[in-house]
Amino acid sequence: MTRAAATPALRRALGAIAALAAMAPVLAASQDEGGTPRIDNSMVLDSDLPTPMDAEPSAGDISSEIFGKRDDAYGAYQRGFYLTALALALPRAENADPAAQTLIGEIYANGLGVPPNVATASSWYQLAAKNGDRMAAFELGLLYLHGLGVPENHARAAELFKQAADKSYPPAQYNLALMHLEGENAAPSLADAARLMQAAADAGLAEAQYDYGTMLIQGAGVTPNTAEGAKQIGLAAEQGLLEAQIDYATLLYLGEGVTRDLNAAVGWYQRAANAGNPVAQNRYAKLLAVGEGVTLDLTEAAMWRALARRQGLSDPVLDKLLVGISSADLAAAEERARFWPSKPPTAAAETELEPSVPPAVSSESSSEAQG
């Protein structure tokens, strides 16, 4: 399964929650009272809160969710012996074992050892969900949501998400929360959305932590709590969610909900930039261009600008910050961007051929050695 983009209706619903959700953050060059350039991060959060998620369970998740303990079928599945797992699970599935039925659904849905067959997977998920398996109910809900192997039916998807959410399945809680925010296939309710989002966040789901944190900052369905919101976004950032890393960097830069920490903010922007996010690349470039929280380096800034531009993000403010870069440095920066994350061939060759220089010997120590 793959993650899905938020629907336009969901974007509109969330855009009405608070002005912060509607404003894309902009890092703009400005000056303090002493005339020193600094970055204006006052637009705050990036989030178009939230993004629907199709959770792809890990092997460990499948182990605990489907069987609750290790068994022969799962052991074969875990080792990649999918046909063996299928053979072991089938007799149990035919005896109405929901765990085995769910495992077979996973095998067919993902084409593990067999040709992918979503229609067959949906049949097994249907049986397992009917027999009370929460993971199967959620997976079947995703199929109805996207019309894969079954007719597209968002109302049915919502019912299945609720069935799984009522059994405390975090991905289902998260997706049902989004439906309450959208208000089309579930009753529009910020309070219900926040309750479900918190439950999924407390279970450690990174997307839920990020979105619940944003809801706390905005006061959407909950009492505003910037500190707790920043904490939740930080937890999602630690799990590698790029959107959360960018917003957490912005919160650290501004000191919103956390103690202001410029070095940490730079670190999070750099981390997301290295992961290929154009927004982070653009912001990190600006910090490099004015030397805020990092050593001023126009060539490095120009390289990150080129990388962001390659993904369609242009920024006139950043262009003004780099107007003083020499043509030679600009050419070097753009050459580095062409081969990023590797070094340009010439630079790589020079690094390999560069001789090691022995440490210099002082005249005093040389005299002592001669003596």
Which tens digits make up the pLDDT trace of 260-271?
999 999 999 999
28-31 vs 37-40, strand pairing mode: antiparallel
Q: 206-218 vs 242-254: helix axis angle to the nearest 10?
A: 40
pLDDT at residue 283, as a whole number = 97
Scanning the structure block, which residue is given the tokens 């005339």? Answer: 35
C-alpha torsion 327→305→250→3, nearest 10:
-170
Tell whether the model's pLDDT for residue 8 goes beyond 50. no
Q: What pLDDT sits at residue 355? A: 58
pLDDT at 95: 95
Of residues 128 and 42, more confidence is placed in 128
Confidence at residue 343, expressed as pLDDT on a 0 to 100 scale: 87
User: pTM here?
Assistant: 0.78
Residue 67 tokens, joined? 């069987």
| Summary mean pLDDT of the chain | 83
Structure confidence by residue, pLDDT tens digits, 231-249: 999 999 999 999 999 999 9
Question: What local confidence, expressed as pLDDT, does residue 64 receive?
Answer: 53
Secondary structure of the chain as H, E, C letters: CCCCCCCHHHHHHHHCCCHHHHCCCCCEEEECCCCCEEEECCCCCCCCCCCCCCCCCCHHHHHHHHHCCCCHHHHHHHCCCHHHHHHHHHHHHHCCCHHHHHHHHHHHHHCCCCCCCHHHHHHHHHHHHHCCCHHHHHHHHHHHHHCCCCCCCHHHHHHHHHHHHCCCCHHHHHHHHHHHHHCCCCCCCHHHHHHHHHHHHHCCCHHHHHHHHHHHHHCCCCCCCHHHHHHHHHHHHHCCCHHHHHHHHHHHHHCCCCCCCHHHHHHHHHHHHHCCCHHHHHHHHHHHHHCCCCCCCHHHHHHHHHHHHHCCCCCHHHHHHCCCCCHHHHHHHHHHHHHCCCCCHHHHHHHHHCCCCCCCCCHHHHHHHHC
Q: At what angle do helices 278-290 and 298-310 cross, to 10 degrees?
A: 160
Query: Does residue 295 have a pLDDT over 60?
Result: yes
Where residue 74 falls among pLDDT bands split at 50, 70, 90? confident
pLDDT in tens, 303-332: 999 999 999 999 999 999 999 999 999 999
Model confidence pLDDT, tens digit, residues 77-120: 999 999 999 999 999 999 999 999 999 999 999 999 999 999 99
pLDDT in the model for residue 5: 35
Provide, rounded to the nearest whole percent, the portion of the chain with pLDDT above 70: 74
More confident residue, 10 or 159: 159
Q: Count CB neighbours of 173 within 10 A.
A: 27
Mean local confidence (pLDDT), 336-351: 79
